[in-house]
């Protein structure tokens, strides 16, 4: 069954989506990252996105400088909007946008840090967490694996994240053996 295309046209909904993306990844995102994430399948018109980001700036999102580049974080009102109103976004929108956010954040983080493993998670409405795990090939820098795992709660998601980050090479080797690559 094909999942219908996403389309978010309402400026207030786009503001909530921006807050939700920042909250779900748990880290600041740049304007270009947010634009790329929300443009997945033309879900959000770039000009509507720009208007929404301007509207959210200072009220729902704060600008912060990270290594000379401007990034956005949620204000307390942005966090509340992400938690309260984020659940009102259709599940298909949240899942697709989260997967795209993990992909883009991971790609950019790996370029900067030279890391080959990234683990991010998002808390779902039912208190479970979806953990996104990305491993790139250390030599080609291409995505090798992307896995989503559901954890019972945030505590379990944190444990998964800590365990994977403690020995990423062992996890990579395990997947290679499991999938016989």
pLDDT digits (tens, 9 = 90+) for 45-101: 999 999 999 999 999 999 988 767 889 999 999 999 988 876 777 777 777 888 888
Is residue 158 pLDDT above 50, yes or no? yes
Domain annotation covers residue 19: yes
Domain annotation covers residue 4: yes
DSSP letter for each residue of 63-129 = EEEETTEEEEEE-HHHHHHHHHTGGGS-HHHHHHHHHHHHHHHHHHHHHHH--SEEEEEEE-TTS-E
Domain annotation covers residue 23: yes
Chosen domain end from 56, 90, 124: 90
Of 125 and 40, which is predicted with more confidence?
A: 40
- The Cα 181–Cα 7 span in angstroms is 38
Contact 72, 29 (CB under 8 A): yes
Q: What is the DSSP letter of 141?
A: -
Q: Find where tokens 């600041």 sit.
A: 28
On whether both 74 and 122 belong to a single domain, the answer is no
On whether both 76 and 1 belong to a single domain, the answer is yes
At 1 the pLDDT is: 44
On whether both 85 and 170 belong to a single domain, the answer is no
Domain annotation covers residue 107: no
Range(s) of the domain holding residue 28: 1-90
Domain annotation covers residue 96: no
- Radius of gyration for the chain, computed over Cα atoms and rounded to the nearest angstrom: 17
On whether both 72 and 119 belong to a single domain, the answer is no
On whether both 17 and 66 belong to a single domain, the answer is yes
Mean pLDDT of the chain: 83
Domain annotation covers residue 141: yes
Q: Which two tokens stand for residue 144?
A: 């090798």
On whether both 1 and 72 belong to a single domain, the answer is yes
pTM: 0.65
Q: How confident is the model at residue 115 (pLDDT cuts 50, 70, 90)?
A: low
Domain annotation covers residue 104: no
Question: Beta-carbon neighbour count of residue 85 at 10 Å?
Answer: 16
């Amino acid at each position: 069954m094909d999942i219908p295309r996403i389309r978010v046209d309402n400026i207030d909904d786009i503001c909530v989506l921006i807050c939700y993306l920042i909250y779900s990844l748990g880290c600041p995102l740049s304007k270009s990252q947010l634009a790329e994430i929300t443009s997945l399948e033309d879900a959000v018109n770039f000009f509507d996105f720009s208007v929404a980001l301007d509207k959210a700036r200072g009220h729902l999102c704060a600008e912060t400088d990270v290594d000379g580049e401007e990034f956005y974080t949620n204000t307390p009102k942005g966090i509340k909007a992400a938690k309260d109103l984020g659940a009102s976004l259709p599940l298909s929108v949240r899942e697709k946008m989260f997967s795209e956010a993990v992909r883009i954040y991971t790609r950019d983080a790996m370029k900067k840090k030279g890391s080959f493993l990234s683990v991010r998670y998002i808390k779902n409405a039912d208190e479970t967490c979806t953990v996104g795990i990305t491993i790139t090939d250390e030599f080609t820098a291409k995505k090798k694996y992307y896995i989503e795992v559901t954890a019972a709660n945030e505590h379990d998601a944190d444990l998964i994240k800590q365990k994977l980050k403690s020995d990423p090479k062992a996890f990579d080797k395990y997947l290679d053996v499991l999938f016989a690559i």
